[in-house]
A and B are shown apart, each in its own frame.
Chain A
Amino acid sequence: AQSVTQLDSQVPVFEEAPVELRCNYSSSVSVYLFWYVQYPNQGLQLLLKYLSGSTLVKGINGFEAEFNKSQTSFHLRKPSVHISDTAEYFCAVSDNSGYSTLTFGKGTMLLVSP
């Protein structure tokens, strides 16, 4: 079984500042890693995913994440945030059990203010 920990429930940041949202996972098998974003009253949208290969993954809206196997982390970063990035962000994992089931972290609310 795997688990995902998002260390910050809320991250306040000023517009145009850089941001990092932290995610750590625990699994006894190889995993695939995902970051999703949820805007108010909407479903989840995939930002980026790590399947294999390069540990630095680039996604939509200027976000990127780095997979660190030794630290079992997959932190999400953006060099300069906008007001429109205000949303909840979820880190998720699936494993190689053959199922597409996602295990999610509790989410991090990113609050961008002017």
Chain B
Amino acid sequence: KAGVTQTPRYLIKTRGQQVTLSCSPISGHRSVSWYQQTPGQGLQFLFEYFSETQRNKGNFPGRFSGRQFSNSRSEMNVSTLELGDSALYLCASSGGTGPADEQFFGPGTRLTVL
């Protein structure tokens, strides 16, 4: 079974631009979560989607948004990029939506904002 895939793996943008990251979950998984990883703040939850609906959202500004498609693939978008948005963005998929369900992580997209 293929794992979680994220594209692109690396991205360089400049301040003020916008970016879209993509995540394909494990086949059959309908829950997708996104996390931001930075050296200073560590791993922080962005949002979770299930069946095309956002179930939960972390404490991030409105510049961060996401969506999920009918095939469970998910995208997240960051508008008006700031230097502080440089991070590794991790996507995780799960076969369920409960707190005990294992989340399977992709390799991440490394975003650098110049």
Please provide the chain B residues from 96 to 114 with a CB less than 8 Å away from any CB of chain A in the complex. 96-108
A98 beta carbon closer than 8 Å to chain B? yes
Within the complex, which residue of A45, A51, A101, A103 is in contact with B33, where a contact is CB–CB below 8 Å? A101
Kindly state the interface size class of chain A when it binds its partner.
20 to 34
How distant is the Cα of A96 from the Cα of B105 in the complex, in angstroms?
21
Query: A4 to nearest B CB, angstroms?
Result: 9
Name the segment of A14-22, A36-44, A72-80 touching the other chain: A36-44
The answer to whether A104 and B43 touch across the interface, beta carbons within 8 angstroms, is yes
Residues of chain B with a CB closer than 8 A to A46's CB: 102-104
Binding site for B on A (CB under 8 A): 32, 36, 41-46, 49, 51, 90, 92, 94-107
The answer to whether B99 and A96 touch across the interface, beta carbons within 8 angstroms, is yes
B48 beta carbon closer than 8 Å to chain A? yes
Binding site for A on B (CB under 8 A): 4, 31, 33, 35, 42-45, 48, 55-56, 58, 90, 92, 94, 96-108
Given A43-B90, A90-B43, A105-B42; A97-B99 close (CB under 8 Å):
yes
Within the complex, which residue of A95, A100, A103, A107 is in contact with B101, where a contact is CB–CB below 8 Å? A100
Excluding A42-B107, A43-B105, A101-B48, 19 further A-B contacts by CB distance (< 8 Å) are: A32-B99, A42-B108, A43-B108, A44-B90, A44-B92, A49-B102, A90-B43, A92-B43, A96-B99, A99-B48, A100-B97, A100-B101, A101-B33, A101-B45, A101-B56, A101-B99, A104-B35, A104-B44, A107-B42
**Total inter-chain residue pairs, C-beta < 8 Å:** 68
How distant is the Cα of A101 from the Cα of B101 in the complex, in angstroms?
10
- Leading 7 A-B pairs by shortest Cβ distance: A43-B105, A94-B99, A104-B43, A44-B105, A106-B42, A99-B56, A43-B107
